[in-house]
Amino acid sequence: MNFEHTEEQLAVRDAAREFAKSELLEGVIERDTEARFPSEQMKKMGELGFMGMMVDPKYNGGGMDTVSYVLAMEEISKIDASASVAMSVNNSLVCWGLEKYGNEQQKEKYLKPLASGEVLGAFCLSEPEAGSDATSQKTSAELNGDHYILNGTKNWITNGSTASIYLVIAQTDAAKGHKGISAFIVEKESEGFVIGKKEDKLGIRGSDTHSLMFTDVKVPVENRIGEEGFGFTFAMETLNGGRIGIAAQALGIASGAYELALAYSKERKAFGKPISQHQAIQFKLADMATNIEAARLLVLKSAWLKDQGKDYAHASAMAKLYASQVAMDVTIEAVQVHGGYGFVKEYHVERLMRDAKITQIYEGTSEIQKIVISRSILR
């Protein structure tokens, strides 16, 4: 067993760390307060190759492994989880799904601009009445000659208004249940496609979350991904990998908060000495460091399994379940270490605490991860 990263992986991690500090840190509090998407920064992330990291270079990607991707996700998430969720969705839900299951024409037309970061993608599965229960899709796609007619509403869509290319899951044959669900590529300019309200959120406030409405939207048959009826498997397989990205995001939020708490504990004095010299704080730091390390091992193992071509569905669910709980626990303790300063925006930890919560909800709630894990144990 080798716990060392390669030189390439370390170089990617360092580049992401440097970018986060030099480009994302400035203005992160204001973007959070104003719920403003980091548009300029995302453009630069595309130029640096962070938006299609694992895609084959022949489709404008970085050709990197999943381990490099999670190292980069952790670094970006330490500073700005709103930027990292846009990065994660583009990389592991949109680009991965298209590269794995799209045909050559779809890859040429859609994957190339997505992988280079020229445009952003969105993954549209959740609906007002289909969140955890993803098989209950109400959005319908009816075949009509050389195109489908798409009708329905999608909710809580990351990159909802900033994306140009949308992967939309819809019901093509309701009688067949989840085997009657299909996946489509929808362009933003399609007639009848309306971007709905922007969500006003507790955390990751800089991320762009919208509902989307489709009314008689014409989608060419050539924009269907795979066969009719393949959409649910497509969504599940894609989310198996997506969860590695969100687990890495949770890890980054936790380690970002821990690093701030550690530094603060060495500066802040109470009862005549730095608070890091008090056992009450030392034990908090010890718990944070241990739990972060355990989460990191789960995240890296799931990434490694994926890179090895082994089954990783249960490992990614475990990584997300555990890392998201660590993100909550560590950020709450980081606020506590900061005392009153932790409760104000200037010290960043209150934002990280708010950002942590979504990692227990999106790309499958913690309860859904337990379903995935228990089914894999019991099968």
Q: Which residues are catalytic?
A: 363
Q: CB–CB of 122/158 below 8 Å? A: yes
At position 190, the amino acid (one-letter code) is S
Q: Of 197, 117, 186, 192, nearest to 157 (Cα)?
A: 197
Q: CA 38, 44, 47, 48 torsion: positive or negative?
A: negative
Structure tokens at 180: 């009657």
Judged by CB, which is closer to ligand CAA: 181, or 337? 181
Min dist CB 195 to ligand CAA, Å, is: 15
Nearer to ligand CAA, 147 or 178 (CB): 178
- For residue 15 the two structure tokens come to 């580049």
17: its two tokens: 């760390």
**Which of 167, 349 has the CB closer to ligand CAA?**
167
The one-character DSSP state at 4 is P
d(CA 244, CA 250): 10
The least distance separating ligand CAA from the CB of residue 93, rounded to whole angstroms, comes to 6
Side chain identity at 95, as an amino acid letter? C
Which residue is associated with the tokens 């460091």? 289
Q: How far is the CB of 126 from ligand CAA (least distance, A)?
A: 5
Residues that bind ligand CAA in the complex, under the rule CB under 6 A? 85, 89, 123, 125-126, 132, 134-135, 158, 178, 232-233, 236-237, 239-240, 313, 362-364, 368, 371-372
Q: Provide the minimum distance between the beta carbon of 301 and ligand CAA in the complex, in angstroms, as a whole number.
A: 17
* 148 contacts 172 by C-beta, under 8 angstroms: yes
Minimum gap (Å) between residue 95 Cβ and ligand CAA: 14
Eight-class DSSP state of 94: I
> For residue 250, which phi and psi values (nearest 5 degrees)?
-60, -45
Q: In terms of CB distance, is 65 or 363 closer to ligand CAA?
A: 363
**Paired strand residues for 150:** 141, 217
Min dist. Cβ of residue 94 to ligand CAA (A): 10
Phi first, then psi: what are they for 98, rounded to 5°? Answer: -70, -40
> How does strand 165-171 pair with strand 121-124?
parallel
Check: CB of residue 192 under 8 Å from CB of residue 215.
Answer: yes
Is 265 or 369 the residue whose CB approaches ligand CAA more closely? 369
CB of 15 to ligand CAA, least distance (A): 24
Which C-beta is closer to ligand CAA: that of 95 or that of 134?
Answer: 134
> Of 116 and 316, which CB lies nearer to ligand CAA in the complex structure?
316
**Tokens 């908060």 sit on residue:** 257
d(CA 22, CA 12): 15
